[in-house]
A and B are shown apart, each in its own frame.
With several copies, the nearest count.
Chain A
Amino acid sequence: MVKIEFLGPIEQESLEIEANSLKDVANFLQNIESINSWLDRCAVAVNSQMCNDLSKKLNSGDVVSILPPVCGG
């Protein structure tokens, strides 16, 4: 199982799903309407490391973080 957490303003509790890669996570999240609308402007981290590679393999226990647009300062 892989944990997906939604950061900042995305109002969604964490989810646990079976996924072998970020591509699986993408397919899963695209089917949740309230999340899908965020995806085009969200970045992704795996185990707290930013990740740009959709083919990234995932292992059980990995945490995928969904990061919406930021504005610190």
Chain B
Amino acid sequence: MELYQGSLDIKSIFSRWLDEERESNYGAFIPFIGTIRAENNIEALSFDIYEPILESWFNGWVERAKKRGAKVKMAHSIGDVPVHTSSYISAVFSPKRRVALELIDEFVEDFKANAPIWKYDILDGRRIYAEDRSTPMSGSGILASKEDN
């Protein structure tokens, strides 16, 4: 797992990952690249990350992928990322096409739902939590329960 301040250098990360696994005999390699869209007049998005939990979330996926003969990699931005630049790249390597296609879907969807990353719009220089586009992590709400025993 790799974290970088600001936009990712996608070409260099992609090239390095390709080289790293060149001799690993994986037949299928599927990266997913997330790029900041120009919308709602934002100048950039900005990200906070809680690294210890991201690390353990990611290591869980390394193990899950391994059981299916596959490998996952991931890089994400911290801080401000201007529109039309990229904040996220993840990838699956697998001997098998089907495993790779299924795993990239599951991995990216779980990332969206459970990676401890918070997103903010940068609008007129202000940093505004993107609450409407955010998802409560699994297990959310347990601290809201009322004592009743």
Q: Residues of A with Cβ closer than 8 Å to B?
A: 7-9, 22-23, 25-27, 29-30, 36, 39-45, 48-54, 65-73
Contact = CB atoms under 8 A, between A and B. Distances in A.
22 contacts: A9-B118, A9-B120, A9-B129, A39-B144, A41-B140, A42-B140, A42-B141, A43-B138, A45-B53, A48-B52, A50-B138, A50-B139, A51-B139, A54-B143, A70-B117, A70-B119, A70-B135, A71-B119, A72-B76, A72-B88, A73-B34, A73-B97
Contact of B145 (A26, A43, A73): A26
Question: Interface size class for chain B?
Answer: 35 or more
A26 B134 CA distance: 23
B44 to A, nearest CB: 14
Contacts of A73: 34, 87-88, 97, 108, 111-112, 117, 119
A49 B56 contact: yes
B142 A52 contact: yes
A43 B138 CA distance: 7
B133 interface: yes
B134 A71 contact: yes
A8 B108 CA distance: 21
B39 to A, nearest CB: 14
B114 interface: yes
Nearest to A23: B147
B124 to A, nearest CB: 18
Interface of B: 34, 47-50, 52-53, 56, 76, 87-88, 97, 108, 111-120, 129-131, 133-147
Given A9-B118, A48-B56, A22 B143 contact: yes
Nearest to A11: B129
B136 A69 contact: yes
B134 A70 contact: yes
Contacts of B114: 70
A50 B53 CA distance: 8
Given A70-B114, A72-B47, A41 B56 contact: no
Nearest to A39: B144
A54 B134 contact: no
